[in-house]
Amino acid sequence: MQKDRPEHPGPLYLMHAVEQLALDFPLIPKLHVRGRLNENKGFYVPTYYVLLADETSPTPPYTRKRTASKQANRQKHVNDEAFDREHGWLIVKLDNERVAKDAEEAERIADEEAIAAGEGVECGCCFAEYPIHKMAQCPEAHLFCTICLGSYASNLLGEHNPALRCMDQSGCTALFSEDTLSCVLTPKLMELYHRVKQRKEIEAAGLEGLEECPFCEYKCVIENPEEKLFRCERRECGAVSCRGCQKLDHVPRSCKEMEEDKHLNARHTVEEAMTAALMRNCPKCNKAFIKEMGCNKMTCPDCRTISCYTCREVIRGYDHFSNGKKCNLWDSLDGTAGPDRRHEAEVAAAREKALEQYRKDHPDADAHELKAVEVQLAVPGGSKNAGRSGVHQRVPQAAQGMQHVGQRIRDAEHLMQEAMQQAEQRLQQAEQRIRQARRERQQQQLVQNAAGVPMVGLRPEFLRGAGVNMDFGELGAGGGLNFGMNWGAAVPPPVAPHLPIFDHPFAPPPPPMNGAAYMERLGIFPPAGGQGLRDGQAHAPAHAVHRRGRGNHNRRRQNR
């Protein structure tokens, strides 16, 4: 299915994927569904499993819907070929998982019932009871549960030891048969078992001329001593290497020329020397290893050769660490003489020696470059917890890289904080400018009202368009308002699509009306008694004008 699936889904695929996911998870918001779909490059199956994990999570990353949406309850026809194929594959897979889960649950219930009925068998390792079909036995009929045997085999194979012997406390040393192991171990563990067993058998045979690929575990016998190359025939490797230096093929150049080219710069040379000082090699098979904790009696996991971690010599047992010897069996736990302290001292000594040798081999080397390398590859002193952590940086270059990564993270955090502070300052400045502009606008309006302006709300252009000729006065000292008008016949409404007083953009246009009705619509009424305005004046409502003052009264007397 993966080969047939396109690299990027099309629009139709995406549309059907969103609809189907909404059907599969009706209580998850569609916005969250789309977000998860984008995270998985628009593909349906990966998004399904991500949403399934979100739905079963105790703290889902969304607000669960109370009811399923109507759209999620409607089945829709899907006619995209790629989506149909992927959706069908998921349905089959979910059915198989459901069947396997039901079978596992039924088996668990049957096992519990068998143990409750007294049909269980005790494991010779963990002493728990299991059904008889979940037990494995050695050739001497000692029974063990499959869980204990699997853990035991995994630990031994991790140490490259294929001798899986009986674990019974009676001292039985019988080896488990391959048939028994194949029924208990996973396919990967069985493959590792066969590979380790074959390797041990070849090493035990002592074949003359047997050589091993430096990049994998492939071995073969090369009878021609003049042959310079080792050709690995393993399909996963296939490397062609030099038999002399154990490096990749460099013919026609010699191993010495390759070694000289390797020392192109001082940093590379010093780093390799520091790494070599940090590692230990088995005196017999030359396999590299490093100790993190424990005693100084080291056993090679490949050839089982016993060596001393301090002096790196082959030893026979614990007699090498007797009193009066220079090598101690245990390192101090306070960090003053532990493996970390020893590693730091050895790496520092190798660094100084490599720099000195590089200066001798390259007398024309740049002094500033060597000084920079010396500073960059300086070995820090041990901390208080150096001997307790049990963890040591294996490669100096890795330590330098981690320091650079940490510094880059700190620089990024500092820049982010500065950017946030600058953004906050700009936001505060913008708010201050807005408040200042509001205050200036309010002050300007107050000054204009004090000087005398037409009453806000009455717009003369609309009144003139309605057939009403108004002569607006000014706000007098007493707060009164003077204006005159001529009443006309029925006129169409003003062109503006809103009422002039309120200036509301969503108000409907008024119906046709005469001048008096339109003035009533504006809130301006003639005097009481039903008489018209003979002198061309009208009264504004109390809420629309200020209190009548003396200046208005004098002006009316002049008009009369």
What the block records as the tokens of 239 is 């490397």
Specify the pLDDT at position 71.
56
Q: Is residue 342 part of a domain?
A: yes
Task: Tell me which of 77-91, 134-148, 499-513 is least confident.
Answer: 499-513
* Integer Cα distance of 536 and 101 in angstroms: 96
Q: Is residue 242 part of a domain?
A: no
Give the residue from 280, 283, 306, 285 showing the smallest Cα distance to 203.
Answer: 285
* Integer Cα distance of 207 and 202 in angstroms: 7
The yes-or-no verdict on residue 244 having pLDDT over 50 is: yes
Q: Are 67 and 38 in contact (CB under 8 A)?
A: no
The answer to whether residues 517 and 463 belong to one domain is yes
Specify the pLDDT at position 339.
67
The structure tokens 């995270």 sit at 39
List all residues 6 or more positions away from 382 whose beta carbon is below 8 Å from its beta carbon. Answer: 335, 340, 341, 344
The answer to whether residues 26 and 51 belong to one domain is yes
List all residues 6 or more positions away from 172 whose beta carbon is below 8 Å from its beta carbon. Answer: 138, 140, 142, 165, 166
Q: Are 310 and 327 in contact (CB under 8 A)?
A: yes
Long-range contacts made by residues 362-368, C-beta under 8 angstroms, separation at least 24? 362/266, 365/266
Q: Are 291 and 283 in contact (CB under 8 A)?
A: no
Q: Is residue 443 part of a domain?
A: yes
What pTM was estimated for this model as a whole?
Answer: 0.42
* Mean of per-residue pLDDT scores for the chain: 73
Q: Are 273 and 279 in contact (CB under 8 A)?
A: no
The answer, yes or no, to whether the previous bond of 252 is cis (omega within 30 of 0) is yes
Q: Final residue of a domain: which of 335, 367, 389? A: 389
Q: What is the pLDDT of residues 165-223, one digit of tens each?
A: 999 888 899 999 999 999 999 999 999 999 889 888 888 887 888 888 988 888 888 88
The answer to whether residues 267 and 321 belong to one domain is yes
Q: What is the pLDDT of residues 289-337, one digit of tens each?
A: 877 777 888 888 778 888 988 888 888 888 888 766 678 888 765 555 5
Specify the pLDDT at position 174.
92
The answer to whether residues 137 and 64 belong to one domain is no
Specify the pLDDT at position 400.
42
Q: Strand ranges (DSSP E) for 168-217?
A: 210-212
Specify the pLDDT at position 532.
46
Distances (CA, A) of 286 to 30, 244, 250: 61, 15, 23
Q: Final residue of a domain: which of 169, 184, 206? A: 206
Q: What is the pLDDT of residues 331-363, one digit of tens each?
A: 765 555 566 777 788 888 888 888 888 778 777
Q: Is residue 384 part of a domain?
A: yes
Looking at the 3D structure of the chain, how many domains does it have?
Answer: 5
What the block records as the tokens of 249 is 């093929």
Task: Kindly calculate the radius of gyration of the chain based on its CA atoms and give it in whole angstroms.
Answer: 46
Strand partners for 483: 472
Q: Final residue of a domain: which of 115, 140, 155? A: 115
Distances (CA, A) of 421 to 275, 414, 418, 427: 45, 11, 5, 10
The answer to whether residues 553 and 514 belong to one domain is yes
Specify the pLDDT at position 269.
76
The answer to whether residues 426 and 515 belong to one domain is no
The answer to whether residues 495 and 555 belong to one domain is yes
* Integer Cα distance of 412 and 394 in angstroms: 28
The answer to whether residues 501 and 428 belong to one domain is no
| Residue 6 φ then ψ, to 5° | -70, 160
The answer to whether residues 372 and 462 belong to one domain is no
Residue-number span of the structural domain to which 194 is assigned: 129-206
Distances (CA, A) of 427 to 161, 414, 422, 545: 68, 20, 9, 42
Q: Are 514 and 538 in contact (CB under 8 A)?
A: no
Give the residue from 364, 300, 370 showing the smallest Cα distance to 160.
Answer: 300
